Amino acid sequence: MTLASDQPILVNASRFRAAHQADWERLEDMVGRIERRGIRAVDADDLLALPLLYRSTLSSLSVARETSLDRALIQYLEALSMRAYFQIYGVPTSFLSQLGGFFRDGWPLAVRLLWRETLASVFLTLAAAIAAFVLVIHDPSWFYSIIPDGLADGRDPSASAESLRSTLYSVGKGQDDGLGVFATALFTHNAQIAVFAFALGFAFAVPSALLIIYNGLMLGAFLAVFAMKGLLFQVSGWLIIHGSTEIFAVILAGAAGLRIGTAIAFPGREARLDFAFRVGRSAAVVMAGAVVMLILAGLLEGIGRQTITNDGERYAIGLTMLVGWLAYFYVPRRRHAVALP
């Protein structure tokens, strides 16, 4: 009797696990200690056993794949093998080197990979802002339906041109403190929108899109109030000095949320969760960078509000930041090795 050469070998999953579980757990423990505390976290005996356990795990992974054992076990062995590989054969890098790689290659590449979602986020923001601007200009009552009372803080259609202008240029202590509270509230609101637009992307991107639209509506309504008093140019200058960075960060966070949501909704031939996890890695890099942008925007807002009251200087700083971000993300550069999906 002969056996067909392509007939799969049957392996009992429970016995297979029982025979190799101890080695896998030992390898996982050693790799975890090295990842947390470095190579000095393991003694000489474990260090000698590390390559042997790695090869044994690779052998187990090969058997698991050939015999079609459960997918969870295969994924566990794949992840463990990859972690062990980097500890054995990878080139150790310092935290500063990794941080430099993030800013030099990782973050810009991740943003470029989301160019479609970024364009969608820009479109939703602009469309909502224009719609709100037109609505409030023609019917100021729309303002109260869009902007929360706590955020408006008197900057509404009923305010006079003088009071609105004073919030943009006054340096008096009382008035400046009021502007500071408003600017802080606006920054906090935008930061929350950015975080939620990313975090809620898993719900098929719908909450992310709605948050982007809502942020655009608020922007348009806010500008319309000042435009009705002939202060559109002035308020745009006050906003752009930090808004070119802050709003860009919200747009990128929204794009990252849209990417995760569309990956879950349309996974293609891959398993839905596997594809979403892979895409989520690069989206998380974008979100980490957006947090950096929000911090920088907060610094720009603080410095600009306190020291710069000239419209030309405000526009110059804001537009320079915008051009700088666009060049940083999208101008071609010499490529380095970057591990992104």
* Same-domain check for residues 64 and 204: no
Evaluate whether residue 318 is within a structural domain.
yes
* Same-domain check for residues 161 and 272: yes
CA angle 81, 85, 86 (to 5 degrees): 125
* Same-domain check for residues 37 and 153: no
* Same-domain check for residues 54 and 126: no
Domain ranges, residue 319: 101-330
**Mean predicted confidence (pLDDT) in 287-294:** 94
* Same-domain check for residues 19 and 128: no
* Same-domain check for residues 51 and 173: no
* Same-domain check for residues 112 and 216: yes
Evaluate whether residue 42 is within a structural domain.
yes
Q: How far lies 37's CA from each of 33, 40, 42, 99, in Å?
A: 6, 7, 9, 18
Evaluate whether residue 336 is within a structural domain.
no
pLDDT category of residue 121 using cuts at 50, 70 and 90: very high
pLDDT attached to residue 325: 97
Which position has the higher pLDDT, 319 or 45? 319
* Same-domain check for residues 120 and 57: no
Evaluate whether residue 4 is within a structural domain.
no
Domain boundary among 36, 60, 92: 92
DSSP one-letter code for 156? S
pLDDT attached to residue 339: 44
pLDDT attached to residue 94: 61
Q: Is the pLDDT of residue 329 over 90?
A: yes
pLDDT attached to residue 85: 86
CA 331, CA 310: separation in Å to the nearest integer? 31
CA 217, CA 198: separation in Å to the nearest integer? 19
* Same-domain check for residues 172 and 259: yes
pLDDT attached to residue 6: 47
Start-to-end CA distance of the chain, whole Å, equals 48
Evaluate whether residue 339 is within a structural domain.
no
137-179 pLDDT, tens digit each: 999 999 999 998 777 777 899 999 998 998 888 654 444 455 5
Q: Check: CB of residue 326 under 8 Å from CB of residue 252.
A: no
Reported residue count of the chain is 341
Q: Exposed (0-12), middle (13-18) or buried (19+): which is 299, by Cβ within 10 Å?
A: exposed
Evaluate whether residue 282 is within a structural domain.
yes
Which position has the higher pLDDT, 75 or 220? 220
Domain boundary among 43, 58, 92: 92
* Same-domain check for residues 87 and 106: no
Evaluate whether residue 5 is within a structural domain.
no
* Same-domain check for residues 230 and 105: yes
* Same-domain check for residues 245 and 135: yes
Domain boundary among 41, 59, 92: 92
Please give the structure tokens belonging to residue 61.
Answer: 């992974």
**Mean predicted confidence (pLDDT) in 209-228:** 96
pLDDT category of residue 249 using cuts at 50, 70 and 90: very high
Identify which of 202, 316, 320, 185 has the alpha carbon closest to the alpha carbon of residue 257.
202
Evaluate whether residue 267 is within a structural domain.
yes
pLDDT attached to residue 170: 63
Please state the domain count of the chain: 2
